[in-house]
Structure 1
Amino acid sequence: MSHHGKTLPAPPSTCLSGEPHGHRVSDPTVHYFGCLRVSKRDRFFNTLPLESKQRILRRIDRIDDLRHRLETAQCDTTAAARLRDFKHAMSNWFAAVDRPHASFTPGTAFESSSRRPSGMTAYFGSEDLVNDYIKAPVVYFKDGRPFDVPGLSNSFPSQKVIMSDLLSEDETRNPLMQSVEEGTVRYFHLPANNMAWVEEAMARYYHERPPDSEDLFLKSKSRRPRTKTEMLLRPEYWQGQQNYEADSEVHARHMRPLCSGISTNLVSSESNANNLALFMPYLHWETDRGRINLTRIVKEVGKQSLNTVAEVADQVQHHMADPQAARDTSEQAPPVTQPSGSEEEEKDEKPEKKRRKAIANILRTAAALLEAMDLHTEEQLMCKYLHAKTPLHPRRTLDQSYYGALKSTGTRDRDQVVYRGTTPAPHVCTTGCSECDEADDIDDVKLHKCTSKKKGCPLCNEDARKVPRIIMVDQLWLWILDEQTVITSFPRTWGKHKPDPSAIHKSLRMRFKYAREGEVSSAYDLALMIVDECSRVFFDRTKTNDRQPNLVELFNGAIRDLTYKQTAAFDQFLIYTHLASRDYKRQRSLSDDNSTQNTLLNINPEGYLLKEVKDIIDEIHIMMRIKEQQQSVMESFVKHIRRRLVPIARQKKATASQPSTSWDVVLGAMMQDAGSPYSDETFGAREEQEREEARRTLSRADHLLSDLEERIAELRTQLQNAQNTSAALKDLLTLKQQQAGVIEAREAVKQAQLTLKQGQSIMIFTIVTIIFLPLSFCVGFFGMNAIELNDGLVPLQSIYKYLFPVSTGIILVAFLFAFSQAVFNNSVVALGRSAVSFAYNTTLTWLLVKTNLYVVGREMNTLANRLRDREATVTGTMKAEVLRNEKNIKRMHAADHVRGLTRRQTTQPRPNENDGIASGRTTPFSPYSVGAPGSPFAPPQGNKGLGVSMTELDLEMGEGVSVRRPSSQRYLVPTAGSRHSPGQI
């Protein structure tokens, strides 16, 4: 590269500028701070033009101002601690290289930048270290066209004002207090959900003092009339909508969804109000690192501002015990991180190793300082407003918005679908060369020349660029004041130096920049754009941003992966079920190969998949709940817009038939003048333009609701897919449970068969033992060397003396070891009872036999048996006779009933009746009449008693009893079936 005909040398490796430069450089600021030594900067600064000098001076002022903020912060921030660590690392570096440098002492006062050119004084900002360094975007539209506000830097739509000016009471500095012309719409954005900022801004808009937060809840504390700010911030529209309690978690703070018109006039009603308040949650994202920093800062601020009673009591006791030590402890700075290692090891280290360690410590502390500087503004904001009377609402994660009572949701946050989809997955590292990856040993790798251009693992290089992210739930606070001013408040992602194209206000500015003329003609058009942009963060397909996670695709991909795994698990289940059935048919024991059985009985894989599906369903439920809240708020918002704009969209010009008022006559006269602004043409064009703008606004409102319904339908589809996968996994677990029951049943059958076989084997051994036991006894007995048996030497009595005691002892010891103590005790008791019973029975039997009592008892027992049999016979006979009598009586009643029926039939006179029978007075014999010939109730000849034969009655009743004797003889002579003859009685 040449410059003025001369070739410029390439930049040194330590230069921050990436372009070649020499005497004249393309970026003097980068060259000044990154290439030159401190001793050469003054000479280079004097050779620069005025514009470059001003740029360097502005950069130096910002650096000095930032150092001043870090060292004079109200609370000990992370950035201030990192700055002290960096100074200490620099001191160690200069000591390692033996260069003179002022040693670092903690707690030193701020030093002005030594790198400032001579003759220049340092500039420090104001004392408000929060509001002076936070800027609020300002956007103006005039007659539907972009408008630049005089006195503000930059141009539309990137104009901003610092928060201290926006909250100032000086009307010349505060654009919120300045009046606007008709047809102008202005928009102010507060970059955090800070209730204190909102109350200050509303008071400045109405040129009033901000209301006391406690007085807002008192309806009639005094008789003075309410101010407009108090009317706008009434409890039912402001603090009453806040979900916050003193003992609740910080992340539980949020405003309940609301959209309502508010009137600042005591006379007018809310239906005709020109003001509107809207609170709506929406989805956004944040890096996992930002979430960790947010959680850490919230805890640190809580410890500094909300000390417990025990901590305060300990501090008071410590101060009272030793005031001087307590003073020294309070003035001591936080400890600085020291490098590891003892002093003796540091003395023995080589100078080269010390320099390397010092450089590594400088790089580490510089990286930590850079991150802390990036978050310093947000940390100061949290430190000042997090626990104020009107507190700041921090950002919430997806689980924090739903589980507000949990103290910590870090584990659940890292279980989000988006976090798993944007986090590097564990893998086996490869070098990028196929031969190196396939080599089994390092020596094998050295045998070939590696052709891989990438050093290291390609997957690791790709994972290094991944940034884990999570879903956040932010809040949109929006007010429309007098239909000309729109004020919003919503947070942004953490870190001011990291560009975020997906930020809501960044997207709004791009949308304002490319808006068509007349697209933003009213405050309602502006509010519809803001609400739509908040609602479509993850559903806008036109945005291609590498940092913003693709929520829809991540959830669809996760559900697809789980569905695929569920299908694979089902196929695996069928395969292993088939293998188990085949093994069972082949009479092959599953114990030979436990892999099939273990796979069928293991539910851990399906349980893990079911847990993942449950997490996905929970997250979709939470997002759908947020979208439904958005829908409720938007419907109320569109209803308010329709109430305001529908009359304008439907209005028509007055016709000649309509009656005219006095104002109509004056207006008609003015409209006849062609040069008047109220002429017929001008007034008609303005009316038509207002109607057209109102119709466009109403159309956008309808499109907004339809778009939101499509997004909810998309989430509902994802939820249905996840639920189908969950149901399939539950069915698979049910099938596994049933298969486990089948396996248990098969195993039980096999165990029963094995038990049966063992029982048969034991039976065979028992039979063999029974056969050979007496044979063995006989052989052993007759084989004894006894005098009585085999002409032996030992008498049989002597053998018994040793045989039975020894056998008894061995048997008792065997039983003692074979059975448990309880069984043994029960056996001993049973044995004792049997012995006593045997002795008792033997003695009693001997006495009965010897005294002839046995014969007497035998005879008495025989007589008792006879009497018992006779009693049974007599009792049975009596019962049978009673039953027969009852049946005979029933038959007699039946015969009388039949006789009565026959008598009624024969009472009428007949033409051919006999002479000897009186008509109507006598009844012919019925075959069922008692005593009639041929009747079954006719008594036999020679029997004057009952008209029924006992033998016939017994046969007819099925008694099966032979002919009975009269009852008077039954007690004397037994029947033929009796056991005893008459002579035996």
Structure 2
Amino acid sequence: MSIHAAANGQLGLREQTAFDIIAIPAIGVRNACETWRRPPKGEGPYNFIWSGMKTPRIFFFEFDQYKQPEVTGDYGITEWAKKLLEALRKCKEITNRDLHFAAHSTGGLVLKRALVTAMEHALRESSGNPAELALSAEDGNTYTSIVEHCHSIAFFGTPHYSSTALSDGACAESISHELDIPIPYGPRLRKQLRNTENLDWMVEFSRQFAPLTLHLLKIWSFYETLETPLRVKIKPEKSPTMTETTLWTQIVDKRSATLADEYYYVGCEEVIPVGATHAGLPTFDNGKDKCRLDGYRDSLNRIMKDADFENRGYDMLARTIHVECHQFHKSLANVSRNSIKILSASPNPTLSQVFQQGPGHFVELRRTKALAPLADASNELNSQPYANAKIPSPIQQSDVQLPMSPSNTTASASPCIESGEEESTRTTIQENLLASSSNGEVGLGTVAETEGSEGLLNFYRVPEHDQYTFRWIHVPSNVMHWAEKVLRRIEMEIADSSWQEILEDAAIQRDDRTAPTPEDSVWNTEHSDESSIINDILENPLACPAGPSLAVGARVVAKEENITPECVLSEVLHNPPRIAQVLQKGQIGTQKDRVKLADLGPLIEDARERISMVKAAHTLPRTASPKTTWVTLNRAVIQERRTPSITSTLLKPIYWNFKQKRAGHGRPHGRYMCPSFQLFYPRDSMDEDRADIDPKFSPINILQAYLYFPYLHWDTFGAAKARNRLLKDIGSTDRSDKYRKRLFKTASDEEKIIWQYGYDPSELFLHPRRTLDQYGYSDLESTETRDADQVIFRWAKHVYRKRRSAVEPQAETQKSQHQREVDLDADDSSQEPKAVSPISNQTTGEESLPSEVTDNFKVLMVDQLWSWIVDDKNVVTFFPRKDDAVHSEHSCKYTCSVSDCGREQRTSEADLRDAIYFDLNGDNIFQFTHKTQCNDCLDFMASAVWHATTLFLDADKPDNPVAKDLRVLRIFSESLCSVMDECTKAFSDFKATQDGVWNSIRGKKNSHSMKELEDAIKQLCNSRDLACLINVRDIKDELKILTKLFSEQTSVIDTMVKVYIEVDERSWNKIQHGRAIGWLEEAKEKIANHQDQVDKMKNDCDELCESYRKLLDMKQKEASVVEAACARVSSDMATRQNYAMMTFTVVTVLFLPLSFFTSLFGMNVREWSKSEHQESLRAVMVLSGAVSAGIIVLALGAAFWTFWTPWILRRPSNRRDEA
């Protein structure tokens, strides 16, 4: 096996390249270059499909050993994958280089198997068990570097889900001819191609490969659209002879060539048809499908250019965002007020810490920290003599800090104790400590009176593990990537906990699952002797399901005990309980400072398989043979692989990826989860006769559920504007490392999350906070205009102007008379017009307010509550916090560090997290009893829905008052009343204007009456009425959006109530949920009340719109009547003017000839005077005619100068061009 570079002229080894391409042909191809060459060999100059790209180098993988017949028959996909990995590790030219793999046909299966193997080895390397995995001297790459530097893959007709043509022996000869394979595929390879999903007994090969796709930026899956002619032999039923015929078929169809299916979603995959046969796919039918080829090359260049920067911000961001972990527990029977309902992790761990160690670790760390001072005090008390004993002082808040709650305060000093009672008091203290310790309760040190005595200690009590009920994990952002990672981390924590219990439990019980059926137990070994089995495990571990873990573990144990791995495996086969120690040494792990989402899948599978093998080993008798032991272990692994994981249903694409709705414009605000609730029932508790229930079952036989719930919230206009600007520019933002560092130093947490997860190649996107209009019109590409015209935003501007206008006159009256005179003189002397204040009422239009004012105004937002019940002990919530970096006074920052935990925590008004937390963990004295003490995860989910529904709109609650500028329905009502008042005034003004118009028309016709008529006509202008109509329509539009929100909330709550009732009736849970159902019914009732108010306002809007339409119509008709009246008046005046002009015309006609002749005969010319020294009449006429003609020409020229000027000034060349 070898990897060689193309020639220098064909994208081979050369300088100044950005990434490398590893091209893998189909298994057994004679010459790898020929697969990607165009045109084919012997047809002139050639190149490859990557020719023309300046940045990559290309390497070809050759199946050198395929030409040997003995290798061809024995090798399968796994053996070729080993050869590919070996070649990649030894190829020093690709060390620390970004890689793009291109694989054709069966070569794609070899690549997938190689990457799965490399990932498993990489995890074993990072777990600290590098036995037999270290690089040799000639190796240049590690398994980890191969996986991490692989950024994209192109599959050309890869049969991910088998292929009839490739696996059928009748087509073997034709397939080898089409693909230029010297020897047809053997029986073993064809058998694997017949069932690729069960390759190496992995049961679901796609499930093993799916985590790797989360690392990748892009996957191209090309499939053929043209059929390939295959010559096959046929034999008629009644004829003894055989003949040949041509079978036209697609060797790998679209379904098999597509990596994703209904169970495994691959967000980065793009499925592309190519007009070519199976053999012509790698060359795009010799370059004829140029459109697909150019698209692939351009996309590859762009993806690999960004590959260097995409993954760098994840670790930094995970170390910034904090997660809340709260452990609920049962209330203690003998404690009423001082019971702790929630044990919270303190300080809150970061996402990175939770991914690395799990949420349970930090809850226990909090408990251990709280108990440590008490343990020291108890030891000191017991170690001292009674005569010298001193009562320990109460533990101060700085020493032991209980969960963030107003009730968690401790006494500042201990009570005084008389000397005569000292010894008896010490005895009572010790008895209380011992009694608490024996009951699993430890006092944390506050003093209070108890019955029958004074000054005795009463304790805050910390529960033991058997009192735990469930745990709440909360992440303050709607990031799908984090959601999936947290759920898988909880599953991994459950698996690790089960593994630790197995290691600690000496007597492991028999597995309660159903025994494997004969179909499940098809695995067997060809070897019966012990040495052959051990040799098979060490030499070929990938060929058997239980091999990899045992092989690595045996080598590690052998190195520690200074024995051979064969001895370790021999002991395991003869003493099966020994397998737990070996598997513990061979378990895979992750890097100490980072846990990737793609790593969690293999880690969980490894833990589950280890547990299944240990359980199976303890069911074997001590007399079991090595073969029986080996077969049992492998069958246990296969059975476990066929068993769904805990999160397999919750993260199933139909309930997770496909629930995400995306708008066609592709903007982030168009993404949201479809509001829904789904409970997954225990399979064993479902009756067969219950056909009315949708059979959605839980894989762990425990109730599971998911909830996607929209709810109303708020934000400042400045924060919403900045967020929308960043979301708009996310595609064009500079994603370089320099920009990332600058952003992560100055930006808020929300801006960092938007930059990092606004675009995600795996399509596990961030769902940003959306304004009300972005929620209602998610398909609208831009809602900037609508966001800046929200009802509560306009109301805030109106209130601001009103308050400023009330303040300014008061300030004016405080001025001295002298100062006012100076101001007036200055105003009179100034020739410039005075600027109008932004809040002035001197203009009819509204002046714009400065941004520093409007940025603090509120706007409505619609956020999403995501919640999952993973099992009966874990509930997870994701919803955003209001984080405004520009206006920190409105920030909601409840994350804390080690130094400031519990101190100076600013909370946001109407915040969902605060409402849930302080309701469930507040002071018992002030709590409403119907909302406290959630007994299980279903109760908690109902409580979260109750708060999300009632938090914002229920503004009159005495325990949670809402600011005036956030009382949404009241603001809508006030805005509507203002428009109603404007409408009333508009009708009154219209009546007054109408009277004025008719009075002017009926009055005396003169210039004054015409001026009055013009003023009255101006009052008929409908611009203000049109503005009010638009205002009413905006209010109605936002009320419709609220109706949509209420409808979705009601639908989800109805489903929850129905399911909760069903759970109680069928006794699927030990706890009844009557209170939770009551909370949901109460939330539904409040939504109905809000909806009634909204419906009433919508009806008022309809009436107002109709009134304004009528008013505008009447004004239009009145304007038409006035226009007709004015036209009649104008006509009368024109008639009178015509009479006057006719008189002037008659006079002119009569006197014009007389004037002409009088002037003519009055001239002193020779003809009239008979004097020789006078000019002749002819000379006078010529002179006067010439002068008149000149004056006329000049006058006409001046009159038409504007018409001739453009033509005269135009260039002669332009005039010629026009001609």
* Structure (1/2) with the larger strand percentage: 2
**Highest Rg: 1 or 2?**
1
Q: Flag the structure with more relative contact order, 1 or 2, with Cα contacts below 8 A and sequence separation at least 6.
A: 1
- TM-score computed with the length of structure 1 as normaliser: 0.50
